[in-house]
Structure 1
């Protein structure tokens, strides 16, 4: 099992969530986050914005579903055919165990 965390532009969230749902991945946790990438924020005139608003989507998946979920996120979170700075990042980590609180059952 894996946990996929995608930090994306807020205006792309609905597209990504819709496509994940259509592909059979309806279970997603969403966070409002702020941060900056390699470009260290943006400067507009004399003002420097160090913390850029983003959304983090967290999806637990079985190993065999990783490539499908990655493709959906990447294809729907980019702002142009070749992407732009600030489109986001995806982090993937192993997930040792998952339990459903209501039933106590182990697994996704």
Structure 2
């Protein structure tokens, strides 16, 4: 099993969610996060003073999938989140050792 974490733009969340559901990949956790990478923030003017906004607001999407669905999920997220501009985000993939559904006690792929 793999955990896929995707940092994406706010306005792309609904596109990514719809694309994942269409691909029959369900179950996700979403959190609002802030950070920067190559985009390095931007300058804004407020009441005549210019200041730098270092941390850009983004959305962090987390899903856990079985190994055989991992590549498909990555491709779906990447395609749906892409605008072609700097700041589109990143996808991180890591191994998941164990999953347990609290309600039923199911483990492994059955718990996903």
Corresponding residue number in structure 1 for 2:52: 48
How far 1:47 moved relative to its partner?
Answer: 2.1
Corresponding residue number in structure 2 for 1:29: 29
Corresponding residue number in structure 2 for 1:12: 12
**Alignment RMSD, CA only?**
1.1
Larger radius of gyration: 2
How far 1:56 moved relative to its partner?
Answer: 0.5
How far 1:15 moved relative to its partner?
Answer: 0.4
Report the number of matched residues. Answer: 105
- TM-score, with length taken from structure 1: 0.91
* 1:47-102: CA deviation from partner (whole Å, max 9, x where unpaired): 211111100100101111111101111111011xxx11110000010000000010
Segments ≥4 residues shifted beyond 6 Å = none
Cα distance in 2 for residues equivalent to 1:39 and 1:22: 31
- TM-score, with length taken from structure 2: 0.88
| Structure 1 gaps, min length 5 | none
